[in-house]
Amino acid sequence: MIQAIFFKDSNDSYRGFSLMGHAGYAEYGQDIICAAVSALSINTVNSIEHFTDDKMEVSMDEETGMLTCNMTGTVSKESQLLMDSLLLGLKGIQEEPSDNTYIQIVIKEV
């Protein structure tokens, strides 16, 4: 199962996100859920880097399926929107297939 954790501060502002694990939907290289989550999350990181001046620390480990993005300093409205979009996409994946056993989404206050 993929665990997606979104970190929000007391002002309801995203401070980052962390994804870990593998969906287990299909064999390695055939898992469309892992591929979709990877595409959404990597695109979010790339978009924050390309379209904003926000600073972030990113770490990845392909073997464990881990991607962590921690915002450092001020977080712009654009980055907030991009992380909202990531969350929306992950919720869409979570809804299909209908048994919801491939991804767990948690919002954690920091």
- The residue with greater pLDDT, 96 or 67, is 67
- Identify the CA nearest to 25 among candidates 88, 97, 95: 97
**What is the tens place of the pLDDT at every residue in 29-69?**
899 999 999 999 999 999 999 999 999 999 999 888 899 99
Q: What pLDDT is stored for residue 100 in this prediction?
A: 65
Q: Does pTM surpass 0.85? A: yes
Place of tokens 């959404």: 40
Q: Which domains does the chain have, with CATH numbers?
A: 2-109 (3.30.70.1490)
